[in-house]
Chain A
Amino acid sequence: MDAETVISIFVGAVLAAFSFAVVGYAFLRGRQPLPAEFSPPETDDQALADIFDSITTLDLEFQLGRMPEADFQAQFQAYRVQAATVLRDQLEAGRGDPAWVLEQEILLARGVAENAVVCPDCSAAILKGTAACPNCGADMAPRS
């Protein structure tokens, strides 16, 4: 048996021992058994993030003038209901501050109505505060 073979077998044995040790380590730490189901993960924040991600996209499409205001409002309301459901679930599960949740719902409901204006040149519904109409490029600065 040459030296290379001996070294190979030695390294292989070290690898086997290391593998055995790391696999067995979990049992040495003395974990408590799991409950009947693993604890439910905190998914609310991610769900909310996804809904608001969708709202951001919707908003972009609206700003780009690809969607009439009525459709925008309808879709926004649908997302609002989804968000409200998550917020309510959060509240029922005791993970949310009731005042904060209520405030969020009110702000969401007000959002569109307060912020939509009509472009004087092309009549596209756009966000209040936008410097120029994303549809026709008209200047939207307040006129004196």
Chain B
Amino acid sequence: MAELGAISLWIALALAAYSTIGSVAGKLRLSPALVESAQTAMYAAGLALLVATLSLVVAFISHDFEIAYVAGHSDLAMPNRFTWVAFYAGNEGSLLYIATILSIMSAIAIWRSPEKFKDALPYTTAVLMLTLTFFVAVMAVMANPFDKLPFVPLDGEGINPLLTHFGMFFHPPALMAGLIGITVPFAFAIGSLLAGKTGDEWVDAGRVWGMVSWVLLAGGLLLGSWWAYTILGWGGFWFWDPVENAAFMPWLGITAFIHSIMVQKRRGMFRMWNIVLINVAFGLALYGMFMNRGGSVPSVHSFGASQLGWVFLLFLAIGVVVPFAIFIWRYPLLKSAQNLDSMLSREAAFLVNNMLLLAIAFVTLWGTVYPLISRLTNDEEITIARPFYDQVNGPLMLGLIFLMGIGPLIPWRKAGVAALRKTLLPPAVAGLATVAILAILGVHKEYALLAFGLASFVTGGILMEWYRGTRSRHRSSGENYATAFLRLIAANRPRYGGYIVHLSVVMVTLGIVGTSFFSIQKDVVLSPGESTVVGDYELVFLGTLETPKSNRTEFVSTVQVFRDGDLLDTIHTKRAFYPSFNMASTNAAIRSTPVEDLYIVPSENLPDGSVGFRILVNPLIWWMWVAGPVMVLGTVIALWPQKMRAPAPVPTPRRFAPGPRPSAA
């Protein structure tokens, strides 16, 4: 399989390079045959990469330890279901995964590109294939997953135990797909600029692929947080680790973009701004991939020391400088069709939303690179930790949530103050009522009160929109409420899908605020039979069962959970030691409810049978994990194609039916 994989890689490299050059040459020389041939080469490159992928999968399943990558990331004891994880567990395999995903996304994007964009399509193809050429070339020359060992070992080194977690099936692939997926809207934007089509032709494709990347990144970040929460054993889910930040920043950039692009789609505005935003998002995505592969800041997430760092840094530099040079070249042509009419408009709300998102991104970037800057300037590394991010990003995020409540309720172009006041009154009352009730119940932390109030404000606005729309449909058409609600959502999917996504963001906010302000933590050593009290819970440690396995020794500790003297649950928490990796992994026992999680993890198993436990009570974190599926649902609804319009442009015959001219307008 090594030969087939290696051959496929080189074929993919040749095809991607040909597609890049052929697309541009065909466009410049006005040769449709060359353009078509280059486009076909793009599809063929995807096929070759699929063959390479299949070769590596077969090599894992057949334990082909002659291939260094297979020997380094699997062993005979590894169940086949972890092949998917082992595939991208190392540098080489993850590059192959990224290249394959990029080729598939490119093929779909070009195949489904809008008719009005065909003119600029060769340049878009060239940008996509240039990026693919880079990844495949790096693989073929510097990090080939099909390199052979000089001898065939009897067994492999095995998969990293931290990766044998359900979340690992989705977290890395979703994040990598999200990061590379930003290339697609970026390619449409640059293709549009290169072709001199500086209008709105690229907007639909840019929006769709921007949202695809957004949901992949958002899902990846949430799953990564869940993975960290359940397996890393420190009870938290976000560490502001440099590589976490590196995935978070492009998500912020693409979040700004998918909001801003709606303004261009609706009103033909923000044309320059959207190009800048997608360039920034692409630059941040390249930075994320650089950090993962030899970036100079150590992280639990990176692929370790690798020589690829400089190559990715060079690609990052080119990927930032060249697009901005193209932007400056086309700058005089990028005129918006309309100007901002009023600061009291949805366009203005989106603009402020963009500013806040970018501010958070650049604060995070500053915190991430500051250790490097301090090392270079003072010979002393100063690490930026969580308090910095909390103090600076916290208020900015609250501002974003506030805008999330206002933005969807303000009309386009210009809002009347009286109408706006009337619209915002019910959600504002809901927010203030929440603050008042919580204050009466004894919550006195200002930030938390503000956050809960804003969450209620956003939720109130969304529910009010749903209620009014549903009631209106019910009364005007006689549909029952359930049908009216479903048809309301189906009739304007981008709008109502977006509302569902906003609700999921509110859920994430609840989880973050609950754990940040109200979490209780206790570290305690218990002998069998001993008990401890944490919050409202009394915990009785019954004992530990030690079980030797083929590649690890498992210690399963059993704990009874009581509240008010009643036995609530008996839970089992696990710690496993892997001698070959000299590494322990933990599986926290989590009793999860919408109100709070009881989280117990064994931090150390002592020789006398006692166990060091970390015990936490994390309020509202359940909502954060539920937010993931809700977010995906909302995005799918927003992206689901609307029924094709009839060619006649009149929206509804009822409204614009011919009739006598009115006597007074």
Contacts and interface: CB of A to CB of B under 8 A. Distances in A.
Judge: A and B partners, yes or no.
yes
A43 B199 CA distance: 12
Nearest to A32: B32
A66 B419 contact: yes
B36 A26 contact: yes
Given A26-B34, A67-B411, A127-B655, A12 B649 contact: no
B446 interface: no
B40 A22 contact: yes
B37 A134 contact: no
B594 interface: no
B148 to A, nearest CB: 11
Given A31-B36, A50-B265, A114 B662 contact: yes
B649 A48 contact: yes
Contact of A58 (B409, B412, B649): B412
B472 A31 contact: no
A115 B655 contact: yes
A127 B654 CA distance: 10
B604 interface: no
Given A29-B33, A110-B661, A19 B44 contact: yes
B11 A12 contact: yes
Interface residues on B, range: 35 or more
B469 interface: yes
Interface in B308-357: none
Interface stretch (B112-120, B221-229, B369-377, B384-392): B112-120
B3 A132 contact: no
Contact of A24 (B8, B37, B665): B37
A58 B468 CA distance: 15
B475 interface: yes
A36 B28 CA distance: 10
Contacts of A111: 655-656
B658 interface: yes
A25 to B, nearest CB: 7
Contact of A25 (B40, B48, B116, B469): B40
Q: Give chain B's interface secondary structure class.
A: helix
A42 to B, nearest CB: 7
Q: Give chain A's interface secondary structure class.
A: helix
Interface in A1-38: 4-5, 7-9, 11-13, 15-16, 18-19, 22-27, 29-38
A108 B44 contact: no
B360 to A, nearest CB: 29
B476 interface: yes
Interface string B495-526: 10000000000000000000000000000000
B4 A11 contact: yes
Interface in B246-302: 265-267
A33 B36 CA distance: 12
24 contacts: A8-B2, A8-B4, A8-B55, A11-B4, A12-B4, A13-B7, A23-B37, A34-B31, A38-B118, A41-B118, A41-B119, A42-B115, A45-B649, A46-B114, A52-B650, A57-B266, A58-B411, A59-B651, A70-B416, A75-B411, A107-B650, A110-B656, A129-B654, A134-B468
Interface of B: 1-4, 7-8, 11, 14-15, 18, 30-34, 36-37, 40-41, 43-44, 47-48, 51, 55, 114-119, 201, 265-267, 409, 411-416, 418-420, 422-423, 465, 468-469, 471-472, 475-478, 492, 495, 645, 647, 649-651, 654-659, 661-662, 665
